[in-house]
Structure 1
Amino acid sequence: MAWLWRALILLSLACATPVAMAEVPNIAAAANIKFAMAQLVNNYQQQSGNQLRVSYGSSGNFVAQIKHGAPFQLFLSADEKYVEALASAGLTADHGVVYAYGRLALVAPNNSPLTLDTDLDGLSKLLQSGQLQRFAIANPEHAPYGERARQLLQQKGLWQALQPSIVYGENVSQAAQFALSGSTQGGIVALSLAMAPQFRERGRFVALPTELHNPLTQRMVLLKGAGDVANDFYRYLQSEPARAVFRAYGFALPEEGH
């Protein structure tokens, strides 16, 4: 009988493993919150003992993936319209909550001739002089920060003249890599990325006025069927310790305006 008990125990352990693995939720997060999210995930995992699996990318691409069955349990978007698109498709638990308002930043690597200013006069002069060869933004077709960068450049009358020089990142994190790698003279990316230590040591930045583009209202939502861990992390992201992390990376919080 002892061998039978051992066999039953081994069988129960084998069956339990997939269940334990399933308890690690897949989370889709907009690329602009990459560094803030890394800190939040680390803090939460240490505090709760729960594990999380996070993927970063453009909000528009995540919507397409989720609509095609990607097994995400929580989605943190850079633009609330993408959450509304999933809610309209019946794929979310509800309409979620706004967790932050984002901002754009004009950035340049340390060796760039680009002068940074909030009116983009330095960018205009560099463009007119013919010295601007490459300028990075996220793809405006599916990345909210790229869409807002295009709006801002249109407002300043620079969009058409910049077209031959623009290098598109698949998402705003990749655009920031391009903008600060030294292969471009600069770019317009998320302030939250420009403020991160990983980027600050490689370049310069200036926060840009929010009135030159539509608000970057960042909303998060639980997907239908989200488990206990995803629900718990969703609540944690609305707590004061989490809000302090978002604030430290240049985000405005819902009640603070944008």
Structure 2
Amino acid sequence: MPHRLLRTLLGLAAAALTGSALAAEVQVAVAANFTAPMQAIARQFEQDSGHRVLAAYGATGQLYAQIGNGAPFELLLAADQSTPARLEQDGLAVPGSRFTYATGALVLWSAQAGYVDDQGQVLRDGQFRHLALANPKAAPYGLAAYQVLEQLGLRRAVAGKLVEGQSISQALQFVATGNAELGFVALSQVYQDGEIAEGSAWLVPATLYQPLHQDAVLLRPGADNPAAQALLDYLKSPAAAAIIRRYGYQL
């Protein structure tokens, strides 16, 4: 084999080995409300970096329990600030890595067009059989929904109509399938590019619930994984910010 061809083949092999060594996987635990934007961010990140994202979605409280029980997640994108802070205190997260990646919003949503008015009067009228929301002990958006009901003085009036999902995704499913006429869900689940994708919704005034600041944190298993740090940095990038805003989040 000519020396020049041999050198070329060796160079290609070395480049391939280098590329595979640089590419890595990162396991991410993601709050259910952030499913759609995370899927979009992961696709763009993988294209830009060559790394692979393995994401699991669920209620923040459930993800916290899994991390505490040894689940090998390397990043957490929570739906609150207290859970990542608690993981730092527990020694399960890297100190100083925590930051707010998005601030969410709560909506009262129905799959039926025209069912929910833009002032939320349908909630006060009470002419519905089921109202879906997420478990407030596991999901920050569920807690926010209960805060809204308390602020409006409706907690007792609707108590017998409440249907709790284990996560905000399950609450959305109850409404989307018609098992509940309406429900409290994350704006990001029903909103894209400036409008409600389908059905009808009331954007709940932010004064009725505590701010839904969502923090990300690097977990101990990801401390030495360059892909984990790269994804954490990518969440702060203009490319990620553009995606996050498309789903109705504030930065």
Q: Secondary structure of 2:25's partner?
A: coil
Q: Secondary structure of 1:99's partner?
A: strand
> What letter matches 1:132 in structure 2?
F
Conserved 8 A contact 1:180-1:203: no
Q: In the superposition, relative to structure 1, how do residues 218 and 201 fare at CA in structure 2: closer, same or farther (>3 Å)?
A: closer
Q: Structure 2 CA distance, aligned partners of 1:115 and 1:195?
A: 15
Which residue of the partner structure matches residue 109 of structure 1?
Answer: 111
Identity %: 36
- TM-fit CA distance, 1:117: 2.7
- TM-fit CA distance, 1:160: 1.2
Structure with greater helix share of residues: 1
The aligned runs of 1:45-194 (5 Å cut-off) are 45-95=46-96, 96-110=98-112, 114-118=115-119, 120-125=120-125, 127=126, 131-194=127-190
Q: Structure 1 CA distance, aligned partners of 2:117 and 2:73?
A: 39
Which residue of the partner structure matches residue 239 of structure 1?
Answer: 237
Which residue of the partner structure matches residue 44 of structure 2?
Answer: 43
- TM-fit CA distance, 1:26: 1.2
Count of aligned positions: 228
Confirm or deny that 1:204 pairs with 2:200: yes
Conserved 8 A contact 1:176-1:187: yes
- TM-fit CA distance, 1:182: 1.7
Residues 2-46 of structure 1: per-residue CA shift (max 9 Å, x gap): xxxxxxxxxxxxxx9xx98x9422100000011011100011111
Conserved 8 A contact 2:139-2:168: yes
Q: Structure 1 CA distance, aligned partners of 2:221 and 2:67?
A: 13
Residues 104-147 of structure 1: per-residue CA shift (max 9 Å, x gap): 011011267x43233x322111x1xxx31111101111100000
Alignment TM-score, normalising by the size of structure 2: 0.85
Conserved 8 A contact 1:35-1:196: no
Q: Structure 2 CA distance, aligned partners of 1:148 and 1:248?
A: 22
Conserved 8 A contact 2:109-2:182: yes
Q: Structure 1 CA distance, aligned partners of 2:118 and 2:155?
A: 17
Conserved 8 A contact 2:192-2:248: no
- TM-fit CA distance, 1:48: 1.3
Conserved 8 A contact 2:190-2:198: no
Q: What 5-or-longer segments of structure 1 have no aligned partner?
A: 1-15, 254-258
Residues 172-202 of structure 1: per-residue CA shift (max 9 Å, x gap): 11111112222211011100112149x9554
Q: Secondary structure of 2:74's partner?
A: strand
RMSD between superposed Cα atoms in Å:
2.1
Mean CA deviation greater in 65-74 or 175-184:
175-184
Q: What 5-or-longer segments of structure 2 have no aligned partner?
A: 1-16
Q: Secondary structure of 1:159's partner?
A: coil
Conserved 8 A contact 1:105-1:188: yes
> What letter matches 1:245 in structure 2?
I
Alignment TM-score, normalising by the size of structure 1: 0.83
Conserved 8 A contact 1:27-1:53: yes
Paired residue for 1:250, among 244, 248, 251? 248
Mean CA deviation greater in 180-189 or 213-222:
180-189
After TM superposition, where is structure 1 displaced by more than 2 Å over at least 4 residues in a row?
Answer: 114-118, 199-202
